[in-house]
Amino acid sequence: MSGEKLRLDRGLFGRLRRDAGAEWEAYVRHPFVLELGAGTLRPRAFQHYLRQDFLFLVQFARAYALAGYKSSTLAELRTASASVTAIVDVEMPLHVAYCAGWGISEAEMLAEPEALETIAYTRFVLEAGLAGDRLDLEVALMPCLVGYAEVVERLLADPATVRDGNPYGAWLDAYAGDDYRQVAIRAIDNLDRLGASRGAEARYAGLLATFRTATRLEAAFWQMGFSI
């Protein structure tokens, strides 16, 4: 992996990650992730995950649209707008193209009912933003944004991870690349800016509760694949 190092221990995110403790470890080292790295995950479980992840992206875009509404400066509004555009016009088409290789079409994914785990997680994120401010919303989004970068970084450092002939190798490569690492780094930096302007220190207990719940919901999203 090249480029700027992903510093997971710094700033507000680093504190939240540390204080989430065992819940964070259960998420980033979930059996679904380890089997994916080893190439032993059942294809059916992965395909179900892919379908639900597309539906998750739809709600993720809505969350950033809400972030725009919750913005208090033009710079914040531009950041939120860029995120919506990146998800809708870049990430979702890439996801559709990747899923086509697994025999899954965009029409099939749009027709797929949302799993309860998908509903629980995405609506929790949206509710955090609706009931709170931009900082509450960003904290709820961080386990996904930065967690995926950590998941793959750990997998690539794990001798049990298989690279040659792994059917999930392209998925690993997508989140191991410098482009995604930069997304995670910018999210960590942005959270610090939001925290400084919106009194994160005084609100820390509530922010940690949101972060821990979002982390548990991320782990449940992995676990969802084993129910198929």
The CATH number assigned to the domain holding 39 equals 1.20.910.10
Q: Is residue 27 part of a domain?
A: yes
How many domains would you assign to the chain?
1
Closest CA to 33 of 181, 222, 213: 222
Q: Is residue 5 part of a domain?
A: no
* DSSP 8-state code for residue 71: -
Quote the tokens at residue 12: 């507000």
Q: What is the chain's mean pLDDT, rounded?
A: 95
Q: Which of 144, 150, 153, 201 is the catalytic position?
A: 144
pLDDT for 94 beyond 90:
yes
Residue 228: pLDDT band by 50, 70, 90 thresholds? Answer: confident
Residue 4: pLDDT band by 50, 70, 90 thresholds? Answer: confident
pLDDT for 207 beyond 90:
yes
99 is catalytic: no
Q: Is residue 189 part of a domain?
A: yes
The residue-averaged pLDDT of 95-117 equals 97
Quote the tokens at residue 86: 């990146």
* DSSP 8-state code for residue 99: H
pLDDT tens for residues 191-201? 999 999 999 99
Residue 3: pLDDT band by 50, 70, 90 thresholds? Answer: low
Q: Is residue 4 part of a domain?
A: no
Per-residue confidence (pLDDT) for residue 69, from 0 to 100: 97
Quote the tokens at residue 122: 């995405």
Q: Is residue 220 part of a domain?
A: yes
218 is catalytic: yes
Closest CA to 133 of 215, 59, 207, 209: 207
pTM: 0.94
Per-residue confidence (pLDDT) for residue 1, from 0 to 100: 42
Q: Which of 76, 91, 138, 218 is the catalytic position?
A: 218
Q: Is residue 8 part of a domain?
A: no
pLDDT tens for residues 150-179? 999 999 999 999 999 999 999 999 999 998
Q: Is residue 110 part of a domain?
A: yes
Give residue 153's domain range. Answer: 20-227
CA torsion through residues 99, 104, 106, 109, sign: negative
